[in-house]
Amino acid sequence: MCCEHGPAQGGGLIGLAEQWRRVFDNNVLPAVLLTEALLPRLARPGGRVVTIGSVATLRGNGAYGAAKAALMAWNHTLARQLGPHGATANVVLPGFVSGTEFFGAPADEEELARRRAQTLVGRVGQPQDIAVAVAFLASPEADYITGEFLNSNGGAMPGR
């Protein structure tokens, strides 16, 4: 098989389908279902939805990147639904964030150096970098920004 995560790896096509479904179920459905449940409270002037995506949306990264890309597509629909009510919907796309244990154990110095070298600002992201992006999009100052995505990755993946 030509692809890194192709059907030749454990479980064949059924295993691949299960893997993709699991990634989608873990990364898309919770955001969609929670937001839909709260939609009556959000569809009002000043209502804000800020979804956490990933730079993997822009880079690829198989099932995970595809799932996060689904959130961006859904965000466009959500922005159209909320806009007439004076509410907004946006997505923050974090890059590598140190100290989150997203990849399991904390990154060692070699991995941190590799990630740091990928950025234009010469440092890895910190949780507060993502928090300020979310806080801005949730603020009254961002009331004219909707249906957008905001990269927060230190330039590791420049905007398009």
| Nearest in space to 93 (alpha carbons), one of 2, 26, 154 | 154
What are the helix and strand counts (H, E) for the chain?
A: 6, 3
Distance from C-alpha of 75 to C-alpha of 71, rounded to nearest angstrom = 6
d(CA 72, CA 94): 13
- Token pair, residue 158, equals 């420049």
CA distance 10 to 17: 11
Quick check: 112 and 124 in contact, CB under 8 A? yes
64 is catalytic: yes
User: Which residue type is seen at 158?
Assistant: P
Q: Is 83 helix (H, G, I), strand (E, B) or coil?
A: helix
Residue 49 has a CB neighbour count (10 Å cut-off) of: 24
Residue from 20, 64, 74, 136 carrying the catalytic annotation: 64
Which residues are known to be catalytic?
64
